[in-house]
Amino acid sequence: MRTRSYRELIQLGTMQERFDYLRLFGEVGARTFGSDRFLNQVFYASKQWHEVRNEVIIRDASCDLAMPDYELATRVVIHHINPISIDDVKDENWDKLLNPDNLITTSYRTHQAIHYGNDRMLPIVPVERRPNDTKSW
């Protein structure tokens, strides 16, 4: 698997293109951290993680996949563009864990869609209505 980056991702102009770039095609119930989940929970509770997490949210203007028209009003999840592993956490691979070029702001639903490959979960920006844009009922 090639290394992906935030710098490449933001060159893509649509939500669908960014989703396709990040899509992991995971399986529901597939092992991630399993019984070692405590390791990533300790990491996600660390001061270093909270600092970089806040920086990423500000950088992305609190928008889903850093798309300007997709402001987040719900739970914010910071996604690792290149997934992290148990060894990354155990070995304190800070460049992979805390590098903003490996992080992107997402909604919970978009994060689930990335991991399980379901683009039907992606948000849709409502069409902005304008006077006289439709016929009267």
Which string of b and e fits 34-50 if b means at least 16 CB within 10 Å?
A: eeeeeebeebeeeeebe
Integer-rounded Cα Rg, in Å, for the chain is: 17
More confident of the two residues 119 and 64: 64
Which of 26-30, 70-74, 82-86, 99-103 has the weakest average pLDDT?
26-30
- Percent of the chain scored above 70 by pLDDT? 82
**pLDDT value at position 108?**
92
pTM of the model: 0.82
pLDDT tens digit sequence for 84-126: 888 888 888 888 999 999 999 999 999 999 988 778 788 776 6
Residue 97, judged by CB atoms within 10 A of its CB (0-12, 13-18, 19+), counts as: buried
| Mean pLDDT, residues 24-31 taken together | 62
Checking if the pLDDT of 71 tops 70, the result is yes
DSSP letter string, 62-108: TBGGG-TT-B--S-EEEEESS---HHHHHTT-HHHHH-GGGEEEEEH
Please give the span between the terminal C-alpha atoms of the chain, in angstroms, as a whole number.
53
**What pairing do the DSSP bridges indicate for beta strands 103-107 and 76-80?**
antiparallel
Contacts of 27 by beta carbon, 8 Å cutoff, 6+ apart: 116
Q: What is the pLDDT, as a whole number, of residue 29?
A: 47
